[in-house]
């Protein structure tokens, strides 16, 4: 039984819970990385309700934080390009492989662009995925210009009649302005070939409050259209993604739940919010 | 000084300063704000609660002896800083070496923490100390993790033991075991075993980690953790401690702007020392861990020292050396040198932006605004419109030349005049310094290294320092000329 249910069971029938119960509730909500401000707001509202209404109230407020934008991948009739971006170690390359699997299973032809020309063996890593999934991977020279690789990938995609081109990029901290500029350039260069219909920011579910700063800065550089929230199979609940939805109105489009290509699903608000409260 | 803290912390302290003698209620209110500030910095709730409990206690002891609000606020700040530094550095120690080599170090942590990159950094660190490290590629799970280790190992000239290709092929326990045996047979003094990332909740993989540990019996198991991790830090650290166990901690990606409260949580809950700090993607971005810098960062003061080091790296070290040599040789400081220094400053990725990345930077806006990078661009344009002769010898700059330069750089003649005056003053200053004997303070530093006046140093501040007078203290005459206007 989730902590919230236990809490409710304790206060059922009474108008106030003991201060100890509220402390427990606060603890769990904070543990989800919702941040002290939102948690304070949740508690304030919950205290005004009684019993079951408190659960509903908290769930309602959490739902209100979500973006109302579509969680579908933008569709075009022509070929479209998806950029996958994020800070180091969040699971971009694995997510690209998962996304490719997901799109292929929907009958779409996919081409991958190995535009992480910086990290040792990053291109090899994506190529290994390409081999496993039987999907073409376009790469360039080591330490080469990622924009050039992205451009080539889009061109190849067009030649091969692909519906989607997924561009894997190097992990970069949002505090590195030259790397953020580089990302902007990658997008601009690719757009000469085909429209970039999605810029997906990959966020690790274990990330704390810094996740919001990441999303803000990446958005300024390349207009992020959606999030991929990864590593939700761990003990982290990914509450910071909710803050991104609220503050920046960027919808979570997919979640990653493991290291295999199948460990991937479209975002489901109900189970996510239940997870925050469990 | 308090304005430079994150707004939450500074709010807590400002409230105190405006009062006379602090009542217990005042202290409690301030400490409550401090707790929220710690939570915003990703410190775990239990840790924040414990810590603020102790801060409250100590503050109550210290305060009765002080009079004014400012001193009292400072006293509480000092208590907070001390507590943080104590938790972060209290159990600091060096790497334990084995009585009989090799010393075996095993890396463990979540996926994406930065273990493989760290392995190479550690290898280089020990190699530079005269050790003979061996890297062992025991991550057989992540696609091309073995390749990655081989590439980074080669980049630091350290051999990599990789009998299995990985990508799901091979037994990590056997590889680790064989790696240690190999190290023994080849008389390596240190073995660094890279392992696959694993979740704290993954029982099977935790069992595997335990098997690796039991097979190789490491002197050190280092828990590698990303500085941006949030509240999950505690659950995960505990899971690893209860599972494979660890002796020390390494924090990675400290070059970001995550406050890093997780460091406090992990240190507090596990009692294990944080031994190293990884501060970037390059092999050289590695250092021992400085508790005072971390305390400073958590409080929102930013990690000025690390930032300064990064700025230093971004700057072309050769250029500074060339200038230094020139100075020593008695050669004149020319406009070309001036231009080079300006370009180096611009290269630092826009100093204003860089400074702005520091948490609490809003309060430092004044200092940031004084550092006008667009002025650097304008100055560059003017100098670039000059001919080499003109740059070498300012005396030839007559009216028509100045007019041409102004036109070419899109500026007014008065701007050109202003630059010439500033530069002439800078040149004079250089000559004076040289004739005065010896290198001036800070001459060896790259330009821009003297941070805007009033910026706090990472060590616990002793007093609330008043903002320094406008006079620039930069070791770079070009920058001084710009700042002194």
Taking a contact as any Cβ pair under 8 Å apart, which residues of chain A between 130 and 159 contact chain B?
Answer: none
Rounded to whole angstroms, the Cα distance separating B468 from B484 reads 13
Would you say residue B446 has pLDDT above 50?
no
Looking only at the bridges linking them, the beta strands covering A196-204 and A80-85 are parallel
Please report, for chain A, the start and end positions of each structural domain, with discontinuous segments joined by +: 3-65, 80-266
Rounded to a whole number, what is the distance in angstroms from the first to the last CA of chain B?
Answer: 26
The residue in chain A having the minimum alpha-carbon distance to the alpha carbon of residue B39 is A36
A33: chain B residues, CB-CB within 8 Å: 230-232
pLDDT score, position B311: 57
**pLDDT value at B462 more than 60:** no
* The predicted structure's pLDDT at residue B23: 81
Q: For position A17, what pLDDT does the model report? A: 53
Beta-carbon separation of B110 and A129 below 8 A: no
Flag the least confident range among A75-79, A213-217, B248-252, B436-440.
B436-440
Average pLDDT over residues A103-121: 96
Closest CA to A71 of A231, A218, A200, A196: A200
| CATH superfamily ID and name for B103-296 | P-loop containing nucleotide triphosphate hydrolases (3.40.50.300)
Please, which residues have CB within 8 angstroms of residue A225's CB and are 6 or more apart in sequence? A74, A197, A198, A199, A200, A250
Residue B13 CA, chain-centre distance (Å), reads: 26
Please, which residues have CB within 8 angstroms of residue A137's CB and are 6 or more apart in sequence?
Answer: A111, A112, A113, A114, A126, A127, A129, A130
Specify the pLDDT at position B52: 94
Q: What is the mean pLDDT of residues B387-407?
A: 88
* A40-61 per-position pLDDT tens digit: 988 888 888 765 677 788 888 8
Cα torsion at B386, B388, B389, B394 (round to 10°)?
Answer: 50
Q: What is the pLDDT of residue B441?
A: 38
A-to-B residue pairs, Cβ atoms closer than 8 angstroms: 147
Are A180 and A174 contacting, i.e. CB atoms less than 8 angstroms apart? Answer: yes
CA dihedral B232, B237, B238, B244 (to 10 degrees): 140
Best A91, A114, A175, A181 member to test B by mutation, with max B CBs in 10 Å, is: A175
Looking at the partner chain, which of B41, B111, B257 has a beta carbon nearest the beta carbon of A231? Answer: B111
Flag if B257 and A213 touch (Cβ within 8 Å).
yes
Q: What are phi and psi of A73, to 5 degrees?
A: -75, 135
Name the strand (E) or helix (H) holding B422.
helix B413-435
Confidence tier at B369 by pLDDT (50, 70, 90): very low
Span B333-356, pLDDT tens digits: 777 777 776 666 655 545 555 555
Q: A219 CB near a chain B CB, below 8 Å?
A: no
pLDDT higher at B42 or B419: B42
Give the model's pLDDT for residue B448: 34
Sheet holding A264-266, edge to edge: A137-138, A110-115, A164-169, A80-85, A196-204, A226-230, A252-256, A264-266
More confident residue, B152 or B59: B152
SS3 B290: coil
Across B43-57, average pLDDT: 94
Average pLDDT value over all residues in chain B: 80
The arithmetic mean of pLDDT across residues B419-435, rounded, is 72
Average pLDDT value for residue range A133-153: 96
Share of chain B above pLDDT 90, in %: 47
**pLDDT at site B348:** 54
Categorize the per-residue pLDDT at A7 as very low, low, confident or very high, splitting at 50, 70 and 90. low
Q: Is A13 left (phi over 0), alpha (psi -120 to 50) or beta?
A: left
Q: Give the count of beta carbons closer than 10 Å to the beta carbon of residue A158.
A: 15
Candidates A128, A208, A234; nearest CB to B42 = A208
Q: Report the pLDDT value the prediction gives residue B164, as an integer from 0 to 100.
A: 95
Q: Measured between beta carbons, which residues in chain B are less than 8 angstroms from residue A208?
A: 42, 228-231, 233, 258, 261-262
Residue with token string 């409690």: B28
Q: Is the pTM of this model over 0.80?
A: no
- The H helix count followed by the E strand count for chain B is 21, 8
For residue B56, give the H/E element and its range: helix B45-62
Domain extent listing, chain B:
2-89, 103-296, 316-484
Tell me the sheet residues that pair with A167.
Answer: A83, A113
Q: What is the pLDDT of residue B10?
A: 66
- B145: which chain A residues are within 8 Å (Cβ-Cβ)? 121
- Grade residue B436 by pLDDT with cuts at 50, 70 and 90: low
Tokens representing B215? 């097979």
The predicted structure's pLDDT at residue B354: 55
Average pLDDT score over residue span A57-72: 92
From the options 1.20.120.140, 1.20.210.10, 2.60.40.420, 3.20.20.70, give the CATH code of B2-89.
Answer: 1.20.120.140
B372 vs B160, more confident: B160
Give the tokens for residue A251. 């919808």
| Residue A168 confidence class, pLDDT cut points 50, 70, 90 | very high
A78-97 confidence digits (pLDDT tens): 999 999 999 999 999 999 99
pLDDT over 90 (residue B110): yes
pLDDT at B347 (0 to 100): 58
Q: pLDDT (tens digit, 9 = 90+) per residue, B167-182?
A: 999 999 999 999 999 9
Partner B, chain A 244-263, Cβ-Cβ below 8 Å: 259
Comparing CA positions, the residue from B259, B236, B226 lying closest to residue B39 is B259
Average pLDDT of span B94-110: 96
pLDDT digits (tens, 9 = 90+) for B290-325: 998 888 888 877 666 665 665 555 554 555 666 667
Q: Give the pLDDT confidence of B260-289 residue by residue, as tens digits.
A: 999 999 999 999 999 999 999 999 999 999
**Which pLDDT tens digit goes with each residue over A230-268?**
999 999 999 999 999 999 999 999 999 999 999 999 999
Q: Which CATH number fits domain B316-484: 1.10.260.30, 3.50.50.60, 2.60.40.740, 3.30.390.50?
A: 1.10.260.30
pLDDT recorded at residue A57? 83
Q: Does residue B43 carry a pLDDT above 70?
A: yes
Please report the pLDDT score of residue A260 as a whole number: 96
Are A85 and A146 in contact by the 8 Å Cβ rule? The answer is no
Of A27, A91, A118, Cβ closest to residue B112: A91
**Residue of A29, A37, A89 to mutate when probing chain B, most B C-beta within 10 A:** A89
The proportion of chain A whose per-residue pLDDT surpasses 70, expressed as a percent, equals 92
Mean pLDDT highest for which of A197-211, B253-267, B421-435? A197-211
Give chain A as a DSSP string. --HHHHHHHHHTT-SS--HHHHHHHHHHHHHTT--HHHHHHHHHHHHHS-HHHHHHHHHHHHHHHS--S--SPP--SS-EEEEEE-STTS-HHHHHHHHHHHHHHTT--EEEEEE--SSTTHHHHHHHHHHHHT--EE---TT--HHHHHHHHHHHHHHHT-SEEEEEE----TT-HHHHHHHHHHHHHHTTTS-EEEEEEEEETTB-THHHHHHHHHHHHH---EEEEE-TTSS---THHHHHHHHH---EEEEE-SSSTT-EEE--HHHHHHHHT-
- Going by CATH, does the domain composed of A80-266 fall within 1.20.58.480? no
Evaluate if residue B67 carries a pLDDT over 60.
Answer: yes
Which residue reads 């199948």 in tokens?
A262
| Predicted pLDDT of residue B363 | 45
* Closest residue by Cα to residue A83 from A207, A229, A185, A174: A185
Residue B463: pLDDT over 50: no
pLDDT of residue B69: 57
Distance in Å, alpha carbon of B119 to nearest chain A alpha carbon: 13
């Amino acid at each position: 039984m989730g902590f919230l249910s236990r809490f409710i069971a304790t206060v059922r029938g009474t108008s106030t819970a003991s201060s100890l119960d509220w402390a427990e509730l606060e603890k769990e909500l904070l543990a989800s990385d919702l941040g002290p401000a939102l948690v304070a707001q949740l508690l304030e509202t919950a205290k005004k309700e009684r019993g079951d209404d408190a659960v509903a109230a908290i769930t309602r407020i959490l739902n209100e934080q979500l973006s109302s934008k579509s969680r579908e991948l933008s569709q075009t009739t022509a070929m479209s390009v998806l950029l996958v971006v994020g800070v180091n170690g969040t699971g971009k390359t694995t997510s690209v492989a998962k996304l490719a699997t997901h799109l292929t299973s929907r009958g779409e032809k996919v081409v991958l662009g190995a535009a992480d020309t910086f990290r040792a063996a990053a291109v090899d890593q994506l190529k290994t995925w390409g081999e496993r999934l039987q999907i073409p991977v376009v790469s360039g020279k080591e330490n080469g210009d990622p924009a050039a690789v992205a451009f080539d990938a889009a061109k190849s995609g067009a030649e091969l009649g692909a519906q989607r081109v997924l561009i894997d990029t190097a992990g970069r901290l949002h505090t590195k302005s030259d790397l953020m500029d580089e990302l902007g350039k990658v997008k601009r260069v690719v757009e000469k070939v085909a429209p970039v219909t999605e810029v997906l920011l990959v966020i690790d579910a274990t990330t704390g409050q810094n996740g919001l700063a990441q999303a803000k800065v990446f958005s300024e550089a390349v207009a992020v259209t959606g999030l991929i929230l990864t590593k939700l199979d761990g003990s982290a609940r990914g509450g910071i993604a909710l803050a991104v939805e609220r503050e920046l109105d960027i919808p979570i489009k997919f979640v990653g739940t493991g290291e295999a290509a199948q460990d991937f699903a479209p975002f489901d608000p109900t189970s996510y919010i239940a997870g925050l409260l469990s | 000084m308090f304005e430079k803290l994150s707004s939450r912390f500074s709010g807590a302290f400002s409230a105190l300063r405006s009062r006379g003698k602090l009542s217990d209620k005042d202290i409690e209110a301030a400490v409550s704000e401090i707790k929220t500030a710690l939570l915003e910095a990703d410190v775990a709730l239990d840790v924040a609660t414990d810590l603020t409990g102790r801060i409250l206690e100590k503050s109550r002891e210290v305060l009765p002896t002080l009079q004014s609000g400012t001193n009292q606020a400072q006293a509480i700040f000092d208590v907070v800083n001390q507590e943080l530094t104590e938790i972060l550095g209290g159990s600091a120690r060096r790497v334990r070496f084995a009585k009989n080599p090799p010393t075996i170090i095993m890396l463990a942590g979540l996926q994406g923490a930065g273990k493989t990159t760290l392995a190479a950094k550690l290898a280089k660190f020990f190699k530079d100390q005269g050790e003979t490290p061996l890297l062992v590629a025991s991550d057989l799970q992540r696609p091309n993790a073995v390749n990655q280790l081989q590439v980074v190992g080669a980049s630091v000239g350290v051999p990599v033991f990789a009998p299995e290709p990985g990508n799901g092929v091979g037994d990590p326990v056997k590889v680790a075991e064989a790696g240690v045996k190999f190290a023994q047979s080849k008389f390596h003094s240190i073995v660094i075993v890279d392992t696959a990332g694993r979740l704290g909740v993954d029982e099977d993989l935790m069992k595997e980690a335990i098997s690796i540990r039991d097979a190789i019996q490491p002197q050190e198991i280092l828990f590698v953790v990303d500085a941006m991790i949030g509240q999950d830090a505690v659950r995960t650290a505990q899971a690893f401690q209860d599972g494979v166990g660890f002796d020390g901690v390494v924090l990675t990606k400290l070059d970001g702007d995550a406050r890093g409260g997780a460091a406090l949580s992990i240190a507090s809950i596990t009692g294990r020392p944080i031994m190293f700090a990884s501060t970037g993607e390059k092999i050289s971005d590695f250092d021992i861990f400085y508790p005072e810098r971390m305390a400073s960062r958590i409080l929102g003061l930013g990690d000025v020292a690390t930032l300064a080091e990064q700025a230093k790296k971004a700057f072309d070290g050769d250029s500074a050396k060339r200038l230094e040599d020139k100075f020593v040789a008695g050669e004149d400081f020319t406009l070309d040198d001036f231009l080079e220094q300006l370009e180096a400053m611009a290269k630092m990725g826009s100093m204003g932006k860089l400074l702005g990345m520091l948490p609490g930077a809003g309060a430092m806006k004044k200092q940031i605004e004084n550092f006008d990078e667009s002025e650097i661009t304008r100055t560059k344009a003017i100098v670039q419109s000059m001919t080499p002769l003109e740059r070498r010898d300012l005396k030839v700059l007559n009216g028509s030349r100045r007019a041409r330069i102004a036109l070419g750089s899109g500026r007014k003649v008065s701007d050109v005049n202003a630059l010439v005056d500033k530069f002439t003053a800078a040149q004079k200053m250089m000559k004076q310094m040289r004739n005065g004997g010896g290198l001036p303070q800070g001459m060896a530093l790259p330009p821009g290294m003297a941070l805007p006046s009033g910026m706090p140093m990472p060590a616990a501040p002793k007093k609330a320092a008043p903002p320094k007078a406008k006079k620039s203290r930069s070791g770079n005459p070009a920058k001084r000329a710009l700042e002194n206007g």
